[in-house]
Amino acid sequence: MELAFATFLVVSLVLSSFLLETANAGSSLCDSKCGDRCAKAGVKDRCLKYCGICCEECKCVPSGTYGNKQECPCYRDKKNSKGKPKCP
């Protein structure tokens, strides 16, 4: 009985580790693209935060450090509560 429980725990840990890696695969892409996008930002931590949110939702980030938002309409069209662009 103890062996079965220990085996179950090991298998559960391996599976959860695999699923966590899969979930973070998109995040590393967003981290990389947002790092490029926010490279020249005055408030870099805020830029990275909002870029990351937009990237996860839109699955894209425009090229360059500014502009080019036509490359990603979802990213371009996201607005904050004040009606201003949400994504940097």
Under DSSP, the state recorded for 82 is: T
In this prediction the pTM is 0.68
Percent of the chain with pLDDT over 70: 72
Average confidence score pLDDT of the chain: 82
pLDDT tens readout for residues 1-57: 676 655 654 555 444 544 433 333 447 899 999 999 999 999 999 999 999 999 999
Q: 61 and 33 in contact (C-beta within 8 Å)? A: yes
Q: What number of other Cβ atoms are within 10 A of residue 32's Cβ?
A: 12
